[in-house]
Structure 1
């Protein structure tokens, strides 16, 4: 029982869908706890619309430019990864959005602020207004931008990331909770209703789910499909998302093929993932977390420099995924995987061991408990509580 129903402000950024999906998963969990004063704000978009427009375009273009050796996003990521959180560069970056945050705090009067994107200004303004700021790290790797000394608590994906955070500037262990990365509730519901991949009926046809929209070069998709048709003996679901031209081109190349199924935007992605034997996807933290919840082995193709490459390295090193850098290698990896039931079992069991539960629920319950304790201390002085 919580003393009162708090107001929650969640700050995010629209670089890809991941940060926003995490924010919405947290909002859903708060509402399930009867906390209805929850506001999600894309801080960069609201505070600096021109900067948001330019930076979003550059972020989208980086995936294409990196294919031709001009990986400016990856370069900037690695150049700033180990910066001192108290240094001059970080202080400048932490100034972004300060005025807008102050305005939001005065308008919504939140009891807690949650970062799903590394905004240092949020933590600083929270301290100024005596509002705890919580940070949800949305990848499997650490970057200095996430770190701020006044953070009330960090919520991280793995024990490895927790240990890295402890070593980095000696963050107190009690400020870090290993919860996993929040995903949409539908993934947990589907996981509970479906058997893990490695326990499915062996007589059923192998099905490869290919997120075609994550490929930046068209011929890589067609090359992979041809390899799997020649060697894989499997069904293929190619999901193009909102890339209508891509879906049209693929339909023209594989018209009515009995083993190639092409889709545009898919509403019920958890069910489609649960029906697959493996997934070919990019290495976003949220996407990999969705696969983890469903214990769905992942094949990562040409991860972009920065957090995606680091996520891919982590999953590959821990036997949760395979990473490749050309379509032939990718096709061969999938064919070997499909022909080896033991590979599916080993990877599935490792993924099951990584799961911590419903991350959004774990985070929300901990935040509400922290606010509850804070309210108790405000209502009763510490010397009274000690009696």
Structure 2
């Protein structure tokens, strides 16, 4: 057991930090101001630098490195803003990994190399108007007709909706009830029958499009099947890595808030001295640092144990539900506390839109809702502790 980065990881961190801090701050401000996603030319730059393929297979154009390597890179992007980091999050820890884990080889070859090059974006279409936490209530249907799968339904809270090229769409196959009937197909944006609702206006997450997705007799090739009925458990296991990505997005925001607070409190003077000389400010900064470091350790533990290579115990090579739920839940709560403290120590400047701290507070709050609420993570943790799932319906 060790707590230092190896040579490869340190090099990746340095490359990501240098790129993010030199190329992205001005863009991040534009995305926040205009509420638009990372433009295609910058996305291709991400691809050219290798940032979209860190832990994706070499056979598909990736680097084939571990999940910890990917999360180290993701944190550096998230320190700039959630919007500029979101394509990295989706590629390294989100829906692209579901395609990589469970899709056919033909589907992988069609989708993953384009994502790695920054030429395509994959989003997840999972939640519905009446199915979010209670995912087994989802009503979007899929029926197999020869060499096609026909999908009907409505998806909600899909980050990237309308902007992304492909959607990992969760649906209920052939009327099979409960979890047994749930699987997923890949739906391309330009498929006939796909349309999008109005752009959602969020408290934060500006630069990350979100909208309803309407699917009306959408016929996709059978090759687009990712997981058929009976694979619900496998699909859910993929969220171990997504939870770590979610946690890392919050970590990056909080780490940047701490950095800003440290800089501000050493330059801002009151009563003839820097405000960092006041013990009350010192306590705030110390609490922020403890929270950030603890979150990073929990996230890195989850990723490192997944990267350990025990294929028999972990055939998909993913973080466990226990490790990833603890990391996500702690980070989700941590980023809210740290960004709130950051606003407080910066006073009026922290509350002003001229500075990034208030945006960090708004963006940070979302991660405890997205990808499974903090309450759901605590239920996951308790279930792991007692060794059984809890039936929420009775």
TM > 0.5: no
Q: Which has the larger radius of gyration?
A: 1
Return the TM-score normalized by structure 1.
0.28
Task: Determine which structure has greater relative contact order: mean sequence separation of CA pairs < 8 Å that are 6+ residues apart, divided by chain length.
Answer: 1
Return the TM-score normalized by structure 2.
0.28
